[in-house]
Amino acid sequence: MKGFERNEATDLAVAIAELFDAKKAENIVLYDISKISSVANYMVVATVSSTTQGKSIADYIEENLNKVGVRVLRRDGAMEWIVLDYNEVIVHIFTPEVRDTYHLEKIWGESKNAFTLEDVRKFLEKEEQENSKVEKQEKPKKEEKKKAPVKKEKTKTTKKETK
In a domain, 139, yes or no: no
pLDDT number for residue 143: 57
Q: Residue 27 domain-assigned? A: yes
Number of folded domains that form the chain: 1
**pLDDT band with cut points at 50, 70 and 90 for residue 7:** confident
The 3-state DSSP class for residue 114 equals: strand
Query: pLDDT tens digits, residue range 107-118?
Result: 776 556 888 888
Residues 6+ apart with CB under 8 A from 136: none
Q: Return d(Cα 38, Cα 16) in angstroms, integer.
A: 21
22-81: pLDDT as tens digits:
999 999 999 988 888 888 999 999 999 999 999 999 999 999 999 999 999 999 997 899
Structural domain containing residue 123? 8-132
Stronger pLDDT, 152 or 55, i.e. the higher one: 55
Q: Is 13 left (phi over 0), alpha (psi -120 to 50) or beta?
A: alpha
User: What pLDDT score does 98 carry?
Assistant: 94
Question: CA geometry: angle at 86 spanning 84 and 87, to 5°?
Answer: 125
Look at residue 135 and tell me whether its pLDDT is greater than 80: no
CATH of residue 36: 3.30.460.10
Give yes or no for a contact between 98 and 87, defined as CB atoms under 8 angstroms apart.
Answer: no
Task: List, in sequence order, every residue forming a beta bridge with 42; answer none if it has no partner.
Answer: 32, 89
